[in-house]
Amino acid sequence: MIVEEFITKSYPKTIEEGKVAWESPSNIALVKYWGKKEHQIPANPSISFTLSKCKTITVLEFSEKENKTDFSFDVFLNNEKKDDFKPKIETFFKRVEAYLPFLKNYHFVIKTENTFPHSSGIASSASGMSALALCLTSVDRMLSKNHEHLNKSFFNKKASFLARLGSGSACRSIEGSLVTWGTHEAFAESSDLYGVKYPFEVHENFKNYHDTILLVDKGEKQVSSTVGHGLMHNHPFAEERFKQAHKNLNDLIAVFKSGDLDAFIKIVESEALTLHAMMMTSMPYFILMKPNTLQVINKIWAYREKTDSKVCFTLDAGANVHMLYPENEAKNINQFINNELVEHCQNGQYINDKIGLGAKLL
Ligand code: PMV
């Protein structure tokens, strides 16, 4: 599958060496992407809040090389050489080579760091792959001066398209603060190939929405997301699940417009539990929640019951809990976390984040 629109035909310029740096955030899905087709095409549309504090900072140095037949690069995480990251990047380079024909002309030094601990159980693939895709799109633009690559909207589209080929959800990290990915009839511009900014009205209630990530379990992932997505093939409930994602995304349009937080909570929590229900009912099956995940969820429900709080939870493919709440509750929720929830976090750790505006060129 080759998408003509994103192929750079030729480069009018030559550059011997250079350097570019981007920071790119993580994102948290409200309607979950779970299940994919060939070429990283999602089985259903999704939508996410772009985060602001949890991000990857990547510096890409490139220098022209003699031998132009192979990829050549070194990767560093926090200034430490990471050869174990190379296979994933090599696979990514192979997938995007058709769109970035300069890739074999240069040796690259990729220096990357995350603002969150690597072993925190927070997936760094969305922020990491989007930061790398943005750096490479910048090189593409430097070499292509004076044509459509100068256009910001095309640049973001191409970066999102490339990020998707690295890790699906990474395509939702380029812009903020709400991004959809996957074709959906209510969104004329939506695409399976890249993320697009949410185009409709968003109520004040969602401005500066908070996401506190409770680090319940920092262990290695029990199931990689590639394997996880694969389990949706021939899953007995797959078709109904994909239909439900379309409906939930559609229903969110009215919720974002009206600011109805009760309706928001119902959709978001149901999505999180459905994602885990899919894992629990696939073959093989998995339970990625831990006892502390359930403790936290029950305490969030009890807290909502006894106060008029609009806090809710969501989960990704792991045990950590994302607590989502409006800005005006930040103080109370912080107290609630310190009084009742830190005891369920490994080493009492959690990360206070909120929705953000997307990636930044440094
Ligand atoms: O981008 P991937 O392949 O790691 O998949 C991410 C899947 C979820 O985080 C579980 C859901 C989502 O939409 O982000």
Predicted pLDDT of residue 121: 63
Predicted pLDDT of residue 146: 59
How does residue 124 score in pLDDT terms, banded at 50, 70 and 90? confident
Predicted pLDDT of residue 224: 85
Predicted pLDDT of residue 148: 59
How does residue 86 score in pLDDT terms, banded at 50, 70 and 90? very high
Give distance in angstroms: CA of 334 to centre of ligand 1: 27
Atom of ligand 1 nearest to the CA of 123: 4
Q: Rounded to an integer, what distance in angstroms lies between the CA atom of residue 281 and that of residue 130?
A: 31
Give distance in angstroms: CA of 12 to centre of ligand 1: 38
What does the pLDDT look like over 226-282, one tens digit per residue? 899 999 999 999 999 999 999 999 999 999 999 999 999 999 999 999 999 999 999
Q: Using a 6 Å cutoff on CB, does residue 354 contact ligand 1?
A: no
Q: Using a 6 Å cutoff on CB, does residue 168 contact ligand 1?
A: yes
Once rounded to an integer, what is the mean pLDDT over residues 318-336?
97
Predicted pLDDT of residue 116: 85
From 27, 31, 34, the mutation candidate for ligand 1 (largest count of ligand atoms within 8 A of CB) is 34
Predicted pLDDT of residue 2: 82
Is 39 strand, coil or helix?
helix
From 268, 316, 320, the mutation candidate for ligand 1 (largest count of ligand atoms within 8 A of CB) is 316
Predicted pLDDT of residue 136: 98
What does the pLDDT look like over 214-228, one tens digit per residue? 999 876 667 888 899
B/e letters for 221-254, b = 16+ CB within 10 Å, e = fewer, are eebebeebbebbeebeebeebbebbbebbeebbe
Q: Using a 6 Å cutoff on CB, does residue 180 contact ligand 1?
A: no
Asked if pLDDT for residue 346 goes beyond 70, the answer is: yes
Name the phi and psi angles at 237, rounded to 5. -110, 10
What does the pLDDT look like over 154-209, one tens digit per residue? 999 999 999 999 999 999 999 999 999 999 999 999 999 999 999 999 999 999 99
Cis check: omega of the bond before 125, within 30 degrees of 0: no
Half-sphere exposure of 266 (CA within 13 A, CB side): 7
Which residue CA neighbors atom 4 of ligand 1 most closely? 225
Atom of ligand 1 nearest to the CA of 167: 1
Q: Using a 6 Å cutoff on CB, does residue 320 contact ligand 1?
A: no
Q: Using a 6 Å cutoff on CB, does residue 29 contact ligand 1?
A: yes
Q: What is the DSSP letter of 338?
A: I
Which residue CA neighbors atom 9 of ligand 1 most closely? 316
Residue of 46, 47, 116, 56 whose CA lies nearest to 359: 56
Give distance in angstroms: CA of 336 to centre of ligand 1: 28
Q: Using a 6 Å cutoff on CB, does residue 44 contact ligand 1?
A: no
